[in-house]
Amino acid sequence: MDFREEYKSEMNSAMPDEQAMERIRQGVAEKLAAPKRKPFPVRRVAAICGSAAACLVIGFTAIMLTAGNRFITSGGMNMAPSALRPSTESLAGGADMGTQNICTPNMDGSYLGDQNGGDADMNNAPAEDPTKPAGAVNDEPPSENRDENRGDDADSAPQYSDGKSNSDNSGSLEHQQPENFWGCSTTVSFSEGMITLTINGTVRRFEAISTSGGGGGSEDSYYEMPSADETNIMPANPEDNGTPTAPEVNGGDELIEVTADSGELLFVKTDGGKLWLYDAELELLGMFVEIE
Amino acid sequence: MEALSLVTRESFDAVMRMYTPTVYGIAWSRLSNRADAEDVTQDVFVRYFGADITFESEEHRKAWLIKCAVNAVNSYARSSHFKHSARFEDIDTLADIAADDDVARNAENKELHGTLHAAVMQLPPKFRTVVHLFYFEDMSIAQISEVTGERPATVKTHLSRARDRLRKLLGEVEL
């Protein structure tokens, strides 16, 4: 049996007859005459949807990055609770103390009576007289103006902090209230020549080593405090004859804007165990060193 | 027929008359169902008249139609419509043809046992087209390779294995 011939004959017998041929021919003609349906533009729709999704992702990412950068720039990242910080030394960062509760000292006249007038009784050169070496006694008598600025001028002294936060700086992100934002609170209080800095229960005490209120106005007087222990008075920078060295305000160090209860705008800078206090004009009011 | 403005009635009828057996035979040898074979044949000719192709010769036209038919049959055989539809006339033919040992036993149970077409339908689908093109269309291994897209060695292997199975099914036959 020849498979080829047999197979051909079987297939020829299975070929469509005239009816089937006409049926196929009509079917082809109808399909050709039918209007062609435009296929659904899957690729075009996919391209448009993909582009829109990509734009949304890019836009959302840009918004998130911008917000994150603004938050970092404003120091918001340093506003974390102190429990999350490696140590309290991070206070030197500055930006984490956007606002503070300033506790003014107890300023009775007896305490500050011999301390006003340009540091006359302190064995430390005033900031306005850098030519005097450290430890030199200032023989200049206190000026009348200084006498008027004595601490017993209680009328001009602000009242003590009642724990209220500064509401003047709550308008922008840079002035977010720490206790509102992160739940932490920073308090600065003055008492007997010392500044007590309390951050979330962590107390750091600073002792005044230099004040510069000799030529200042009355608003400076109550910050001019001597050291509690004058034997421990040390120049801020012994190499420049005891002249207190102000931090480089323009050198990138961030000052912490604080507001006293009296409404007076002040600035504070901390660096390790040191603390600088500035007025609104960025004039150094005093330097303090941390007491162990 | 308005859509055939570019195709004259004479050329349409001539092409349909000349190549319908070829296209239909490819479809039927693979699908073993007349309705399905007619559908595939219609699709092939719709593609042919819808395509704007200038053929160099009748051999070129025939090769194009055969290749289009093979592709259309493969697509139709992969469709869910073909896989899940019951075929009353060929339900026995589409029975399981899995193992080589079962081929002869399956063939004995077929209603069309004894016919060559029934034996060919016991072959795996990839062998059926090769057998049909080689024995019915008298195509060479190279031509089958070009039409099916397989390598010539693959086509030769398929043809050889198909012959072996057909010998088992049909006994002594000159292949």
Of B21, B46, B166, the CB nearest to A28: B46
Burial class (CB in 10 A: 0-12, 13-18, 19+), B153: exposed
pLDDT at res. B26: 93
Contact residues, chain B, for A22 at CB < 8 Å? none
Q: What is the mean pLDDT of residues A83-88?
A: 44
Closest CA to A130 of A248, A243, A237, A286: A243
pLDDT digits (tens, 9 = 90+) for A171-217: 444 444 444 333 445 566 676 677 776 666 777 777 887 765 444 33
Whole-angstrom Cα distance, residue A59 to residue B82?
A: 48
Given a cut of 70, whether residue A135 has pLDDT beyond it is no
Nearest CA in chain B to A33: B3
pLDDT-wise least confident of A73-87, A102-116, B37-51, B119-133: A102-116
Q: What are phi and psi of B131, to 5 degrees?
A: -65, -45
B135:A15 CB<8 A: no
Class of the CATH-defined domain B2-83:
mainly alpha
Contact residues, chain B, for A24 at CB < 8 Å? 16, 20, 24, 38, 41-42, 45
Strand A202-211 to A186-191 pairing = unpaired
Nearest CA in chain A to B136: A8
Strand A194-199 to A101-103 pairing = unpaired
Token pair recorded at residue B163: 């012959």
Whole-angstrom Cα distance, residue A27 to residue B43?
A: 9
Min Cα distance B119 → chain A (Å) is 10
A206: left (phi over 0), alpha (psi -120 to 50) or beta: beta
Mutation to test the A interface, candidates B136, B137, B170, most A Cβ within 10 Å? B136
Q: Residue ranges per domain, chain A?
A: 3-30, 42-73, 82-291
A1:B29 CB<8 A: no
Q: What are phi and psi of A44, to 5 degrees?
A: -65, -45
pLDDT-wise least confident of A89-103, B8-22, B45-59: A89-103
Given a contact cutoff of 8 angstroms between Cβ atoms, the answer to whether A180 and A78 are in contact is no
Q: Which residue has the higher pLDDT, A225 or B129?
A: B129
**Contacting residues for A137 by C-beta, under 8 A, at least 6 apart:** A123
Q: What is the CA radius of gyration of chain A?
A: 40
Helix (H, G, I), strand (E, B) or coil at A145: helix
Contact residues, chain A, for B2 at CB < 8 Å? 33
pLDDT at res. A269: 80
Q: What are the C-alpha distances in Å from B150 to residues A56, A218, B155, B156? A: 46, 101, 6, 10
Q: What are phi and psi of B167, to 5 degrees?
A: -65, -40
pLDDT at res. B70: 94
Given a cut of 50, whether residue A11 has pLDDT beyond it is yes
pLDDT at res. A263: 66
Find which of A167-181, A239-253, A272-286, B20-34 is predicted with most confidence, using mean pLDDT.
B20-34
Q: What is the mean pLDDT of residues A44-48?
A: 95
Nearest CA in chain A to B116: A7
pLDDT digits (tens, 9 = 90+) for B107-127: 444 444 457 888 888 899 889
**Contacting residues for A165 by C-beta, under 8 A, at least 6 apart:** A99, A101, A177, A179, A180, A185
pLDDT at res. A237: 46
A116-133 burial by CB neighbour count: b if 16+ within 10 A, else e?
A: bbbbbbbbbbbbebeebe
Min Cα distance B3 → chain A (Å) is 5
ipTM higher than 0.85?
A: no
**What's CA A7's distance to the chain center, in Å?**
91
Report the alpha-carbon angle A283-A287-A288, nearest 5. 150
Whole-angstrom Cα distance, residue A40 to residue A43?
A: 9
Of A7, A24, A25, the CB nearest to B136: A7
- DSSP 8-state assignment for residue A37: P
Mutation to test the B interface, candidates A10, A18, A28, most B Cβ within 10 Å? A28
Centre a 10 Å sphere on the Cβ of residue A280 and count the other Cβ atoms it contains: 12
Contact residues, chain A, for B6 at CB < 8 Å? none
Please provide the CATH number assigned to the domain covering B92-170: 1.10.10.10
Whole-angstrom Cα distance, residue A237 to residue B120?
A: 106
Whole-angstrom Cα distance, residue B50 to residue A28?
A: 10
pLDDT at res. A255: 74
Of B45, B49, B173, the CB nearest to A3: B173
Given a cut of 80, whether residue A8 has pLDDT beyond it is yes
A24:B38 CB<8 A: yes
Given a cut of 80, whether residue A121 has pLDDT beyond it is no
Find which of A96-105, A108-117, B72-81 is predicted with most confidence, using mean pLDDT.
B72-81
B24:A4 CB<8 A: no
Outline which parts of chain B fall under CATH 1.10.1740: 2-83
Given a contact cutoff of 8 angstroms between Cβ atoms, the answer to whether B129 and B22 are in contact is no
Residues of B with CB under 8 A from a CB of A: 1-4, 12-13, 16-17, 20-21, 24-25, 28-29, 34, 38, 41-42, 45-46, 49-50, 115-117, 120, 131-132, 135-136, 166, 170, 172-175
Token pair recorded at residue B35: 């309705």
Binning chain A into helix, strand and coil, the percentages to the nearest 5 are 35, 15, 45
HSE of B157, CA atoms in CB hemisphere, 13 A: 6
Given a contact cutoff of 8 angstroms between Cβ atoms, the answer to whether B170 and B112 are in contact is no
Mutation to test the B interface, candidates A2, A6, A10, A11, most B Cβ within 10 Å? A11
pLDDT at res. B118: 85
Min Cα distance B81 → chain A (Å) is 19
Contact residues, chain A, for B20 at CB < 8 Å? 16, 21, 24-25
Mean pLDDT, all residues of chain B: 80
pLDDT at res. B126: 86
Outline which parts of chain B fall under CATH 1.10.10.10: 92-170
User: What is the band of A165 on the pLDDT scale with cuts at 50, 70, 90?
Assistant: very low
